[in-house]
Structure 1
Amino acid sequence: MRRICLTLPTNRACPDTIAAIGQEAAYATAHFDVEVHLLILDSSDPATFAAHAAAVHALPEDPRVSVHHLGEPEQRAFLSRVIARADVAKPELMLELMLPAAVSYGACTNRAFLFAAALGCESVHRRDSDSRYQLLDGEPVFPVHHELASLGKSAVDAAHGAVETALAPRHLHKRVSMVGGSFVGELSVDIGEIRALDPGAYHDVVSLWAPDDWTDEQKRELVDESFRGAGSETFTDDRATLTLVDPMRVDMCNIAFHGVHERVPLPPATDTIGSDYFLIHLVHDAALPGVLHNRDIVNYYTAERRTDAGFIAYQTRFVKFFLSMLYFNFIYERMAEAGEALLDADGRVRASAISEFARQSTALDQAGNVRRLDRVDAAYRRLGGRYAHFADLLAERRERFLDEARGDIEDFALLTEAWGSLIRAAGDAGAHLTARRPA
């Protein structure tokens, strides 16, 4: 029987999402020969954590679903054991990269990867707390249906049934490393107001994540499709394609990995949106098969983003995303050039290649990022209001942000070099983990 990890990282109130993901876990055991470890990694405040514990306790019993609801103290204790067992360089820094004080989309998912290894799970299936499932005839449409039908199988076996094949024959012997879908509803990045206020400013800002050498037309196309997911398309029937999945067609709220997450971690950058999308690019560039399906998840915004503090925090993460792209565009270009050379003789990703590209990128001139900051400053001052206020804050933090962007890539290289040891140590530490339902 396969053992899988269905995970929900959260730092916000989401009892309804916990109830819904509990339903997805039950669907998985009812329709597939699997054991599900439902892993909720909770960084919320004590009152919210208690509400989540109540939601966990209310989940129906299922003999093949084990629920793990872990706060940061429990996560830290586990990580400390793993890091000590792995005997890696700079253990204190390693713990900070795995469980930073600030928000990190990559780090929270990396923790799920290590917990999954400890629990003996062969795949990780991630959902987000600010999303919900679509309905068909009143019933939820669960992505785990396609994930378990294909993930980990050889591509030739995954091509049966309702899955259309758009994969070159030379890839059919490889295993399916990723199954993913997109989202509908709100933009994945909360910038719709910018587009409404000034489409020109929206273009100027969103185009900043393109490589510098792209043409104006390429940048326009990128802006047009960025952060939209599947738009407003609603689910009516299943469609799935076995292919080399375009990273622009899937989202981390609707993703599952097999194998690749045990070879390379996600960048642990703090306060940076998009830092958790790296493996999607890696799977594509290494020519590993994936399945793209249309069981898209509904994205929505929580009330916190509408507060002044929430606005500043989110705009900070947005700007730092652009700064990270100076380095990631370089890494993605090298990965695309390497292609299947990113894999070893057994078809597994060579982590050493990724860490080498990351270290090479840190030598890049920061002039490109200075220009990015100048463009954001000009666009936000043109927008006025709270955007102009954020531009003032950004001006005060320019040098810090530039240094942090480069430091984040150095940290990613370091973590990648240690990742194999951490995964093995997590597997050895698994005996300490037990499922629980808080009373």
Structure 2
Amino acid sequence: MRRVCLTLPTNRACTATIAAVAEEAAYGAREFGVEVHLLVLDSSAPADLAAHRTAVAALPPAPGVVVHHLDEERQRAFLRAVVTASGAAEADRLLDLMLPAGVSYGACTNRAFLVAEALGCASVHRRDSDSRYQLLDGKPVFPLHHELAVLGRRAADAADAVTRRRLDPGCAERTVVLAGASFIGEPSVDVAEIRDLDPEAYDEVVGLSVPSGHPEIWRRNLIDEAFRGGGTTPFTTDVATLTLVSPTRVDMCNVALGREVYGRVPLPPATDTIGTDYFLLHLVRHARLPGVLHNRHIVNYYTGERRSDEGFLAYQLRFAKYLLAVPHLEAVYTGLAEAGDALLDAGGLVRPDAVAALLRESALIDPAGNAARLDVLDRRYRSLGGRYAAAADRFAALRDPLLAAARSDMEDFALLADAWGSLTAHAKGTAVNLLPRPRTAPAVTP
């Protein structure tokens, strides 16, 4: 039976989301005849962790669904076993990159990839703790519907599962490795307020995320669409397109990838940085691997923490780190675009060595450009005043470490990419639960 991994990484209270994602897992198993491994990777504080254990224990049994709830102690034990078995020279460093002390969107998803390999899954389907499902006639609209219908199939065969086909016929024999949509509702609270306060400041700041050299009309469109998700129109009927999926149309709370991709290349493990976890979406597009873009958007909302002064500063720092990562990432994306089909081996799979080489090269770009980027942030944030001026103070105090991290993050990514093939190989067959389970944990993980 085909196995898939539906994963929910979390570091905050989300008992309602756990129940909702479990319902999606049951839907996938029931409607598609697959074995769904629901994987909750939990980095929450003790009280929230305990509440999650209770929530998982209360989940109703569902045929074809296997639940795994791993706290950080269990995640670390699993990762150490994999890293040790791989024989990697920098075992402790790799373990830190896989399970860092800070928040890392790439690292939490990389952990899901390795656990999925251990469980024998063919794909990973990612959701977030701050998301909900749309409803149609009172029933949840599950993205898993499109993901399971197309992933792992030859593009020519998957054409009957979509409503539109916009794929080069030359890619018809390739495997569909990506399915995704975005979110509906409120745009990113990290930048939306900037637009309200000063549209010109917004254009200049968000413009730092747009590749240089684009024609002005394209640049204008990219700025307008950045961080806005799938709009506000509710779901009424399915629209799914077989295509080379644009990363700007997908959100990482609503995406699924085949192991043909994540089994060969990881995500950047940078800490306290948004946006870098979209790397594989760019790789898939530039390698001309088929995907499906659908409209079963997740409902977006933000926790109170995100709106607090402390949460605001934390997320502004992550946004700033992303803007400093952009030149390095764009250097890689340019190389990927130039390589095109050469990114694939004779079997149509991504060549990890080609990707790692581009990562190492990108770490060497001139840091002067990033110094100028920090100057833009400092000038514009101080002009906005209030909390933004406080964020500018934070950036100024961390100026040298921020500039250094932009380069070292790419070096770390290259290190992990070099070791990834060995890690995924040795994850296979490694026991997921290597520690005794707490008495309050549910007895559902084999």
Give the TM bin, normalised by the shorter chain: over 0.9
Query: Structure 1: where are the runs of 5+ without partners?
Result: none
1:438 matched to which residue of 2?
Answer: 441
Is the 2:286–2:336 contact (alpha carbons within 8 Å) kept by the matching residues of 1? yes
What's the CA shift for 1:217? Answer: 3.3
Q: Using structure 1 for the length normalisation, give the TM-score.
A: 0.98
1:210 matched to which residue of 2?
Answer: 210
State the one-letter code of the partner of 2:89: A
Is the 2:74–2:434 contact (alpha carbons within 8 Å) kept by the matching residues of 1? no
What's the CA shift for 1:368? Answer: 1.1
2:28 matched to which residue of 1?
Answer: 28
Equivalent positions of 1:224-303 (< 5 A) are 224-258=224-258, 259-303=260-304
1:19 matched to which residue of 2?
Answer: 19
State the one-letter code of the partner of 2:29: T
Q: Using structure 2 for the length normalisation, give the TM-score.
A: 0.96
Is the 2:10–2:40 contact (alpha carbons within 8 Å) kept by the matching residues of 1? yes
State the one-letter code of the partner of 1:195: R
Residue 276 of structure 2: SS of its match in structure 1?
A: coil
Pair 430,127 (structure 1): closer, same or farther in 2 beyond 3 Å: same
Pair 36,161 (structure 1): closer, same or farther in 2 beyond 3 Å: closer
Q: Distance in 2 between matches of 1:162 and 1:221?
A: 27
What's the CA shift for 1:190? Answer: 2.2
Equivalent positions of 1:110-121 (< 5 A) are 110-121=110-121
Moved over 6 A (4+): 433-437
State the one-letter code of the partner of 2:60: P
Pair 245,414 (structure 1): closer, same or farther in 2 beyond 3 Å: same
What's the CA shift for 1:213? Answer: 2.7
Q: Distance in 1 between matches of 2:67 and 2:297?
A: 24
What's the CA shift for 1:435? Answer: 12
Pair 161,290 (structure 1): closer, same or farther in 2 beyond 3 Å: closer
What's the CA shift for 1:54? Answer: 1.2
1:60 matched to which residue of 2?
Answer: 60
Is the 1:67–1:435 contact (alpha carbons within 8 Å) kept by the matching residues of 2? no
Residue 5 of structure 2 is aligned to residue 2 of structure 1: no
Residue 149 of structure 1: SS of its match in structure 2?
A: helix
Is the 1:68–1:434 contact (alpha carbons within 8 Å) kept by the matching residues of 2? no
Q: Distance in 2 between matches of 1:215 and 1:368?
A: 20
Residue 428 of structure 1: SS of its match in structure 2?
A: coil
What's the CA shift for 1:215? Answer: 4.0
Q: Distance in 2 between matches of 1:41 and 1:332?
A: 29
Is the 2:130–2:303 contact (alpha carbons within 8 Å) kept by the matching residues of 1? yes
Is the 1:81–1:429 contact (alpha carbons within 8 Å) kept by the matching residues of 2? yes
Moved more, 84-93 or 56-65: 56-65
Residue 159 of structure 1: SS of its match in structure 2?
A: helix
Q: Distance in 2 between matches of 1:45 and 1:188?
A: 25
Percent sequence identity over aligned pairs: 59
Moved more, 409-418 or 57-66: 57-66
Is the 1:120–1:430 contact (alpha carbons within 8 Å) kept by the matching residues of 2? no
Q: Distance in 2 between matches of 1:200 and 1:282?
A: 32
Pair 167,71 (structure 1): closer, same or farther in 2 beyond 3 Å: same
Q: Distance in 2 between matches of 1:255 and 1:12?
A: 21
What's the CA shift for 1:191? Answer: 1.5
Equivalent positions of 1:36-435 (< 5 A) are 36-188=36-188, 190-258=190-258, 259-430=260-431
Query: Structure 2: where are the runs of 5+ without partners?
Result: none
Q: Distance in 1 between matches of 2:14 and 2:161?
A: 35
What's the CA shift for 1:432? Answer: 5.2
